[in-house]
Amino acid sequence: MKSLNRREFMKFAALGTSAAALAACATPTAAPGAAPAAGSTAASGAAAGGGQLEIFSWWTSGGEVEALNALYDIYSAQYPDVEIVNAALTGGAGQGGNMKALLETRMQGGQPPDSFQVHLGRELIDSHVVPGRMEDLSFLYEEEGLNDVFPQDLIDIASYEGKPYSVPVNIHRSNVLWYRPSKLEAAGVAVAPTTWDEFFAAAELLKTAGIPALAVAENEPNFSGHVFENILITQLDQAGYLGLFDGTTSWEDERVTRSLEILNQAYDYANQDYLSTSWGDINDRFVADDGPAMMIMGDWTHGVLLSKAFSDYRWAPAPDTAGMFMVLSDSFGLPNNAPDRDNAVNFLRVCGSREGQDAFNPIKGSIPARTDPDLSKYDEYLLSAMEDFKNNTLLPSIQHGAAVKQSFVLDYAIAINNLATNRDVAAAQAMLVQAATDAEFSA
């Protein structure tokens, strides 16, 4: 009995030490930015002039990762010696996701990746530029002629104190109304609403027909925040809207109150279970046979609906927002002390190039930031979006990090979620005012 147990113990110890030895062998390759074991030519990858390119993003699956791979393909064609480490992690699109947590610990630990995906605008600027972690990209914009091909409004969003800090790869539009013609027809609504008064008239007809008018997924904050920003721009003009983020427009303004009231009223016509539906499931709801008639959501919806082989949908600008284009954009910047700076800069070149953007965007379902794309590659919706992008007033999105810093976006989304749950306009507005105070907005 004793000897058997000792043998078992020796087996344990042997197992432990051999596994530890295995781990020790794995150690040299495990430092961040080093070659991962799976399928890489680690030994030969250290060739001179090669090196690595570590990119952080939250594009982990589906069309998004395919689009990213298209960019990588173009890059590898030009720089075959560089080994691309695609460090993608979910949880970056919202606030407090895992990708952002990981990025933060990397930055705090003094080991930034070569580049990382970040929403264009204040999300990048307040989170990374102001603390002095990013390199100024004016040189790149000059060399690549980006100052001429990006719209000036967009460059302004990308810039801090006159200098740009990231290269936008794509443009998504926030203020789109998606509607199901079959549902509208069934309720006797002749044409999709173009103003909020028309919307409520249509909603009444839909209600009589037993169809929810608006798809909402407010199980947790964020979805309604997206809807609300598209109402704010209908009540405030451009200067008023932008003034919300530098203190010139107060969040106590009656136009904000009116916007909240419109949203509050819209909840009367939302799908019954809107407090139980999460953003990830809203598309399943929309395409279901008993689904709602309309949805105000960004234009990635187009790609999602296509992938579900769904065709009963059309689009229009969100009510009262014709002529406005609410912008959000994914971009890449250059951290200070990037381990492979040259490779990173070359990657940014690819991101800003016509070839890169035309390879990426059709797959992703977004439009390029450049104003000179190869139109033959884009489908019907994207072409119409590009037209609008050229001609409309560009406004930065709150919910998606373009207009304002992350801590405010979090508080804002919570305030709107509160409205959705408690249906109390005054309370929600008070929370918004408090959030503005906490954010210390100043010109």
Partner 1 sequence: MATKSIAVPGERARAASTTPKRRWRINSDMLIAFFVLLPSILAVALFIYTAIGWTFYISTVKWNSQIIDYTFVGLRNWSRMFSDNRFYADLRNLVYYAIGFMSQCIIFGFIIASLLDQKIRGETLFRTIIIFPFAVSGIVTGVAWRWLMQPTTGINLLFAKIGLENFQPVWISHPDYGMWAVTIATSWQFTGYVMALYLAGLRGIPQELREAAAIDGAGTYATYRYIIIPLLMPVTFTAIVLTGMNSIRVFDVLASMSGSGPAFATDTLAFFMYQSTFGAYRYSLGATIGAFMILLSAFLIIPYLRSMRDEVER
Partner 2 sequence: MTLQRIWTRGAIYLVLIAFCAFYLMPFYVMVITSLKPYTDVNVTRMWELPKGIYFEGILQAWTAVAPNFWNSIVITVPAVVISSLMGSVNGYIFAKWRFRGADTLFILFLVGMFLPYQGILIPLVLTLQAFGLYGKVIGLIMVHCIFGIPITALLFRSYYTGIPNELLDAAKIDGCGFFGIYRHILLPISMPAFAVVLLWQFTSIWNDYLIGLVVLGNPRLAPINVAVVNIAGSWTVEWNVQMAAALIAAMPTILVYLLLGKLFMRGLLAGALKG
The rounded distance, in Å, linking the Cα atoms of 351 and 347 is: 6
- Return the residue of 280, 311, 391, 426 that touches partner 2, per CB under 8 A: 280
- Return the residue of 51, 52, 55, 58 that touches partner 2, per CB under 8 A: 58
Site for partner 2 contains 38 (CB under 8 A) = yes
State how beta strands 176-179 and 330-333 pair: unpaired
382 backbone dihedrals φ, ψ, rounded to 5°? -60, -35
Q: What is the closest distance, in whole angstroms, from the C-beta atom of residue 82 to partner 2 in the complex?
A: 16
DSSP string, 124-174: HIIIIITTT-B---HHHHHHHTHHHHS-HHHHHHHEETTEE-EEE-EEEES
Q: What is the closest distance, in whole angstroms, from the C-beta atom of residue 275 to partner 1 in the complex?
A: 5
- Return the residue of 44, 105, 182, 238 that touches partner 2, per CB under 8 A: 105
Query: Which residues sit opposite 167 in a β-bridge?
Result: 332
Q: What is the closest distance, in whole angstroms, from the C-beta atom of residue 136 to partner 2 in the complex?
A: 26
The answer to whether 140 and 167 have CB atoms below 8 angstroms apart is yes
Per-residue mark of binding to partner 1, 282-321 (x: CB under 8 A) = ----------------------------------------
Nearer to partner 1, 127 or 392 (CB): 127
- Return the residue of 47, 191, 288, 375 that touches partner 2, per CB under 8 A: 288
Site for partner 1 contains 264 (CB under 8 A) = no
DSSP string, 6-35: HHHHHHHHHHHHHHHHHHHHHGGG-STTSP
Centroid of chain to Cα 401: 8
The answer to whether 292 and 270 have CB atoms below 8 angstroms apart is yes
Q: What residues from 201 to 220 belong to the interface with partner 1 (CB under 8 A)?
A: 218-220
Would you tell me how many other CB atoms lie within 10 Å of the CB of residue 312? 13
363-391 as b/e, with b when 16 or more CB fall inside 10 Å?
bbbbbbbbeebeeeebeebbeebbebbee
Query: In the structure encoding, which two tokens stand for residue 193, read together?
Result: 């609403």
Per-residue mark of binding to partner 1, 86-125 (x: CB under 8 A) = --------xxxx--xx--x---------------------
Nearer to partner 2, 164 or 362 (CB): 362
Residue with tokens 């065709």, as numbered in its chain: 311
DSSP category for residue 269: G
Nearer to partner 2, 308 or 390 (CB): 308
- Return the residue of 52, 117, 127, 170 that touches partner 1, per CB under 8 A: 127
The answer to whether 92 and 123 have CB atoms below 8 angstroms apart is no
- Return the residue of 53, 67, 74, 87 that touches partner 2, per CB under 8 A: 87
Interacting partner of 195 out of partner 1, partner 2, none (Cβ under 5 to 8 A depending on kind): none
Nearer to partner 1, 69 or 421 (CB): 421
Q: What is the closest distance, in whole angstroms, from the C-beta atom of residue 100 to partner 1 in the complex?
A: 6
Q: What is the closest distance, in whole angstroms, from the C-beta atom of residue 99 to partner 1 in the complex?
A: 10
The rounded distance, in Å, linking the Cα atoms of 428 and 420 is: 9
- Return the residue of 237, 252, 273, 379 that touches partner 1, per CB under 8 A: 273
Question: Closest by alpha carbon to 321, among 407, 212, 236, 418?
Answer: 236
Nearer to partner 1, 134 or 202 (CB): 134
Tally helices (H) and strands (E) across the chain: 20, 14
Query: In the structure encoding, which two tokens stand for residue 91, read together?
Result: 């949880």
Region of 256-264, 333-341, 359-367, 419-427 interacting with partner 1 (CB under 8 A): 419-427
Q: What is the closest distance, in whole angstroms, from the C-beta atom of residue 51 to partner 2 in the complex?
A: 16
Which residues in this chain contact partner 1 in the complex, by CB under 8 A? Answer: 94-97, 100-101, 104, 126-128, 130-131, 218-221, 273, 275-276, 278, 281, 406-407, 410-411, 414, 417-418, 420-422
